[in-house]
Structure 1
Amino acid sequence: MNLHSMLQARAADGKPLRVALIGAGKFGSMYLSQARRTPGIHLVAVADLSPERARAALLGVGWAAEQLSAQSLDEARRNGTTLLTDDTPAVIASDAVEIVIDATGSPAAGIDLVLACCKHGKHIVMVNVEADALAGPLLAQRAREADIVYSLAYGDQPALICEMVDWARTAGFEVVAAGKGTKYLPAYHASTPDTVWQHYGLTAEEAKAGGMNAQMFNSFLDGTKSAIEMAAVTNACGLTPADDGLAFPACGVDDLARLLKPRADGGLLQHRGQVEVISSLERDGRPVFRDLRWGVYVTFAADSDYVRRCFKEYGLVTDASGNYSSMYKPFHLIGLELGISVASAGLRREATGAATGWRGDVVATAKRDLREGELLDGEGGFTVYGKLMPAAVSVAGGYLPLGLAHKVKLNRDIASGEPVRWSDVAFDANSEAVRFRREMEAGFR
């Protein structure tokens, strides 16, 4: 509740948090727009494959050219300016940096960045939820061993869900369900970058003019991003997926308590303590009344006559029994809110969500009948989507994680809707990402 005053104190003492951003895309740019207006923050460096693209991003969100004049990390630290560079290893190794933000979106790059931060003692904020879904439990363990903070990114929905789960539990409620909203229909699982814009009501030309990446936007539509984000939530919050993964029921905010409770009590959940994503569309395509497409929620239980009476007295929306109620946040502000994680890590050494165990996994699943010899193209592509499932099921089945289903060739036919297995692809056993993930699987209990 006092992060801002703590930042002000750091600014007054001339000891701002020294931050480096890796990746100046959309999420990174949103953070940059706010970082320049936040006391107690010094953006020491922005590392990007294209420093000129990073410069354009900074100028585009209001930074002055003279602020980007540093020629070295030491100069940036001394003068309060910012270095633009493509040398990420040097940024992480530098004493000028305390906190690293991974906004790359690459699972393999994310693993490398976290391990580098462990080596050099830098806290890391993971916008890169793709890496967290692939190997977050082991990455978080390594971070604890290195005495650094490994944190999910506030502003992204998983960290906001973690906050709501923590609120409910700290207030003494059992969390029955937690999750987010999205736009979903079953047919979307087969969507490709060629079909994505029709589902968003855009033409390809309009999307191009808006700088929209078809494969990235398709990952939001085909269910992959929802699976990735809910894997992060299950692993951070001690919740679990249903055996069949996400069902994406159509549900508005007024029906959360009625629907997001166990089937035994007339709801849709397999069990208490489940993650679920709700759709803003009915199955016939009609919009859901008071949908939660951009937001997050928790449902929780009273489990006593007294608390049920309090729910009624204070106007909470409940199910018919009065035992289940909910809280929700209708929006998330993505990178505009990321400073919460930066401040929390730097000032309190607290994560805004981090894996505490391995409970959910995201498995590459065929979008259509795939043929031997085809090359998988990963998240949001033409070949596979990500499906959430219990980690125990994934490991027992030998399933290929979605985060490694990129530029690997199939060695057998895969039917539409079938999960892909490690044994179905020719993978590079020597790559750092593969070795790290296999280490996590080998240690699974």
Structure 2
Amino acid sequence: MSLFRQLQKRQEDQRPIRVAVIGAGKFGTMFLAQALRLPGVHVVGIADLNVQVAKSNLALAGWPDEQYSASSLNAAIQSGQTYVVDDANLLIGAPVVDLVVECTGNPIVAVDHVMAAFRNGKPVVSATVEADALCGAALAQKAREHGVVYSMAYGDQPALVCELVDWARTCGFEVAAAGRGHKWKPEYRFSTPETVWDHWGLTPEQAERGRLNPKMFNSFLDGTKPAIESAAIANACGLDAPSEGLLFPSGSIDDLPNQMRPVQEGGVLEGHGMVEVQNCLDADGDQIGYDIRMGVFVCVKAVTDYQKHCLEEYKVRTDDSGIYMCAYKRWHLIGLELGMSVANVGLRGESTGTADSFRADVIAVAKRDLVPGEMLDGEGGYTVAGQLRPSAISVPAGLLPLGLAGGVKVLRPVKADQPLTYEDVEVDTSLTAYQLRRSAEAMLSV
């Protein structure tokens, strides 16, 4: 509980953590909105393919013009300002950079950035959770081989769940389930960027004001992002994925203890130690009160009578058996909270969540009938959505990971609502992301 004091000390000693941010989209801008308020942290460089848009986002986030006017990295170091450039590798390879924050959101590009950082001996905080779902276990192994830290981004839900699971286990509880909330109707899995705002509950004007990317937000709505984040949680926390995908049980926070237990005990789970997503809409599509839509939870089980009695004595809300309880964080603030990862990695050399295994996977499922010759448009688009599966099922079946389903040609017809396989598409096998994905798949047989 001393991170802020340690940051203050770094500021006093004039030894700030020098950070390079790759990608100045929504997540990156949210972090940058906070970065000027963090003692002991100096964002020395920002890389984005569109420098003018990046600078516009900095202005939107409240940065004064002079703060991002440095003409070079050296000038940024001398002045305390920030250098904005379109070349990520220039920042990643710079000796003055202590830590790389990757937040492009593109798993193929992100893997290249992460691996370049490792080769340059730099730790990485990755907000591109898509890369974790695709090949996180292999990336974590590469980080260990290079002697650096690879971390999920605090503020995104997977890292917040990792924190809750770590709390539970460190306290001596058994973790029954963990996950996040969502707004879900089964028909949302067919949503496109054209339909997202009505479903999401925003007007086009609100979306434009916030410079919100309809494809990115559609990936939340159509179930892709919940699947991606659930896979990251499972792989970092040693939890299992449901065999037929997420169930999205409807309920409030107070319903979680009864729901997040095995079916044979009255819950919805296949077994103990699962990931799941709770739905904030009831069967009629109406909003449920006191929901966890924007938050995260862990459900724990009292494994001794003494634990159970303590829960009763301290008036903990439990399931009807008195042995399951839920701890939660109702809100997550995305990039506004990323300072926690920067501080943990930069000061302690400790991640805020890393894949330890490849237990859960996100597969590409057709949103409509697909025909040979057309191109898949990846996460949040018009052609495919991501669904969660156990890796032990998806890998032997040759199912196509969602992370490789962008910009690839369809070779065979695929019916709507059917999973795609590697054989259905033309994948570029020269991609580093593809090769690391195959390395992650090989871990299942070890």
Instruction: Give the TM-score taking structure 1 as reference length.
Output: 0.98
Corresponding residue of 1:46:
46
Query: What is the identity, as a one-letter code, of the residue corresponding to 1:246?
Result: L
After superposition, residues 144-293 of structure 1 pair within 5 angstroms as: 144-204=144-204, 207-208=207-208, 210-293=210-293
Q: Report the CA distance between 1:66 and its aligned residue.
A: 2.0
After superposition, residues 4-403 of structure 1 pair within 5 angstroms as: 4-204=4-204, 207-208=207-208, 210-403=210-403
Q: Report the CA distance between 1:206 and its aligned residue.
A: 5.3
CA distance in 1, matches of 2:395, 2:387: 14
Q: Report the CA distance between 1:205 and its aligned residue.
A: 5.6
Q: Is the 8 A contact 2:408 2:425 kept in 1?
A: yes
Query: What is the identity, as a one-letter code, of the residue corresponding to 1:334?
Result: I
Q: Report the CA distance between 1:352 and its aligned residue.
A: 0.3
- Percent identity of paired positions between Structure 1 and Structure 2: 52
Offset from partner CA, 1:250-303 (integer Å, 9 cap, x none): 021111111111111111110110000001101220111211111100100111
Q: Is the 8 A contact 2:358 2:440 kept in 1?
A: no
Specify the SS of the correspondent of 2:396. helix
Q: Is the 8 A contact 2:263 2:271 kept in 1?
A: yes
Q: Report the CA distance between 1:78 and its aligned residue.
A: 2.5
Corresponding residue of 2:412:
412
Q: Report the CA distance between 1:204 and its aligned residue.
A: 4.4
Q: Report the CA distance between 1:86 and its aligned residue.
A: 0.9
Q: Which runs of 5+ in 2 are unaligned?
A: none
CA distance in 1, matches of 2:232, 2:202: 30
CA distance in 2, matches of 1:42, 1:209: 28
Specify the SS of the correspondent of 2:151. strand
Q: Report the CA distance between 1:431 and its aligned residue.
A: 2.4
Specify the SS of the correspondent of 1:180. strand
Q: Report the CA distance between 1:6 and its aligned residue.
A: 0.5
CA distance in 1, matches of 2:341, 2:202: 34
Specify the SS of the correspondent of 1:125. strand
CA distance in 1, matches of 2:8, 2:194: 48
1:57 and 1:194, CA in 2 relative to 1: closer, same or farther beyond 3 A? closer
CA distance in 1, matches of 2:281, 2:174: 28
CA distance in 1, matches of 2:69, 2:410: 48
Q: Which runs of 5+ in 1 are unaligned?
A: none
Q: Report the CA distance between 1:62 and its aligned residue.
A: 2.1
Q: Report the CA distance between 1:374 and its aligned residue.
A: 2.3
1:101 and 1:291, CA in 2 relative to 1: closer, same or farther beyond 3 A? same
CA distance in 1, matches of 2:65, 2:262: 56
CA distance in 2, matches of 1:367, 1:361: 18
CA distance in 1, matches of 2:345, 2:195: 40
Specify the SS of the correspondent of 1:75. helix
Specify the SS of the correspondent of 1:178. strand
1:391 and 1:369, CA in 2 relative to 1: closer, same or farther beyond 3 A? same
1:81 and 1:206, CA in 2 relative to 1: closer, same or farther beyond 3 A? closer
CA distance in 2, matches of 1:196, 1:57: 23
Q: Is the 8 A contact 2:358 2:443 kept in 1?
A: no
Query: What is the identity, as a one-letter code, of the residue corresponding to 1:230?
Result: S
Specify the SS of the correspondent of 1:444. helix
CA distance in 2, matches of 1:283, 1:361: 28
Query: What is the identity, as a one-letter code, of the residue corresponding to 1:32?
Result: L
1:204 and 1:37, CA in 2 relative to 1: closer, same or farther beyond 3 A? closer
Instruction: Give the TM-score taking structure 2 as reference length.
Output: 0.97
Offset from partner CA, 1:231-261 (integer Å, 9 cap, x none): 1001100001011121011021111111111
Q: Is the 8 A contact 2:155 2:334 kept in 1?
A: yes
CA distance in 2, matches of 1:67, 1:192: 38
CA distance in 2, matches of 1:433, 1:72: 31
CA distance in 2, matches of 1:282, 1:120: 50
Q: Report the CA distance between 1:134 and its aligned residue.
A: 0.9
Q: Report the CA distance between 1:61 and its aligned residue.
A: 1.8
Q: Is the 8 A contact 2:139 2:436 kept in 1?
A: no
Query: What is the identity, as a one-letter code, of the residue corresponding to 2:385?
Result: Y
Specify the SS of the correspondent of 2:8. helix
Specify the SS of the correspondent of 1:387. strand
